[in-house]
Amino acid sequence: MTASDAGTAPWTGRLTGGSGVSVLVATAIVVADMIGVGVFTSLGFQVKDIPSGFSILALWTVGGIVALCGVFSYSELGAMFPRSSGEYNFLGRAYHPAFGFLAGWVSATVGFAAPVALAAMAFGEYAKSVIPDLPPIPLAIGVVWLVSIVQLTGVRHSSTFQLISTILKVVLIVAFLIAGFVVGTPQPISFAPHAGDLAHIGSAPFAIGLVFVMYSFSGWNAATYIIGEMNTPQQSLPRALLAGTLIVLVLYVALNAVFLYATPISALAGQLDVASVAGSAIFGALGGRIVGAMICVGLISSISAMMWIGPRVMMTMGEDIPALRVFSKRSVRGAPAYAILFQLAVANLLLFTRSFEAVLDFIQFALLFCSFFTVAGVIKLRITAPDLPRPYRAWGYPFTPLVFLLVTAFMMYYLLTERPVQSLSGMLVMLAGLLIYAVFRRRPVAAATSHNRE
């Protein structure tokens, strides 16, 4: 037994005994990873060009439907190849291990650490809006360390923390929705369709707005990064992805409805912090603090989800690549300690240097690129490997994958035209992974999987 075996065997035995991640916890991870600050900041720019309640709600509904199209495809791949690490696993199996490594390289280094740093910084800023004397940077670093310590205690404690923090997040959002519709002053806006709505839905602002709506829906694939820790993943993964995405779709549409219902469009237009504007309209002078506290609680669950799933990419890469073997080691309670500490270090570095926003700018295209080819891989495998066992088959195939591919292709085109330097830089970072792949001789996936079961 090698050193790596010594770190993984005790946990593997308990995992196969049925103590893995439940559907409920996996659903909580999806919900927590999806609901960040995007839904609380997007509406102000959308209503400037789409001053229609029905069209705005249609925009968010379309975004949710596109995310569901991605869910169906990822569920098929996850049921076929139930191994943690998301696109690293899927692209490696559908195309070539080198392609999977490119996705894993981005995710394991900054793909999760940068969003963690951004969410932590947002936590610090919103906490400051609640208690003005609080320093944002120490708060941001503190919340990342707190969540990381919870992750290091093992999967059981992580599951409990994730479930409680996500339920609290959803409860607070639902309470805000109820208060908005009950206490808020109704505005002269209609959510019923009108003659001009068709023109709004077919307009360029609607298409561009969909790009930013899709960013708010990102995270619908979160549970695919922990497939290997789930009980009966062939059944549990599709249920968790579908349930989590549907919950977020309903909450997103309801949140935008209450923002429009309780706040004048003129007050929302062009504003970044629409949630605080709506909170002030609903609750008065204390509204901004109430909303700030709600978002702070929600961001803790988001950071927890990303600190859970991100290290699993590095962990799985460590199982395949001898030079990265240290990251595959898990504690007796199932935590990939070295991988968690690595992501913690990168997130802290990004916070100290204030570089997380720049990093996010240049990895967005690469992340979309990976999602595009992952869903395309479903179509490829249906053609090239029709006899492979498929415990779950994508609903609505081939239309649902094609819808996702069309929208994702449009998003990539938008980024290339609007942010060409950042997008091309992201691709260069991704391609740099080929050099790493060439240096480290990769072990066959089948051999690594067999090794993990010993």
Closest CA to 236 of 78, 66, 88, 90: 78
What residue spans define the domains of the chain? 3-453
Model-level pTM? 0.90
Other Cβ atoms less than 10 A from the Cβ of 231: the count is 16
Q: DSSP readout, 119-164? A: HHHHHHHHHHHHSTTS-HHHHHHHHHHHHHHHHHT-HHHHHHHHHH
pLDDT digits (tens, 9 = 90+) for 141-179: 999 999 999 999 999 999 999 999 999 999 999 999 999
* Structure tokens given for 328: 């595959």
Type of residue numbered 306: M
Where does residue 180 rank: exposed (0-12), middle (13-18), buried (19+ CB within 10 A)?
A: buried
pLDDT of 316 reads 95
Q: DSSP readout, 212-223? A: HHHHHHTTTTGG
Among 1.10.10.10, 1.20.1740.10, 3.10.129.10, 1.20.1050.10, what is the CATH number of 3-453?
Answer: 1.20.1740.10
- Give the up-direction half-sphere exposure of residue 314: CA atoms within 13 A in the CB hemisphere: 30
Taking 50 as the pLDDT cut, the residues of the chain under it are 1-18, 442-454
pLDDT of 438 reads 82
> Alpha helices, DSSP H only, in 81-112?
87-94, 97-106
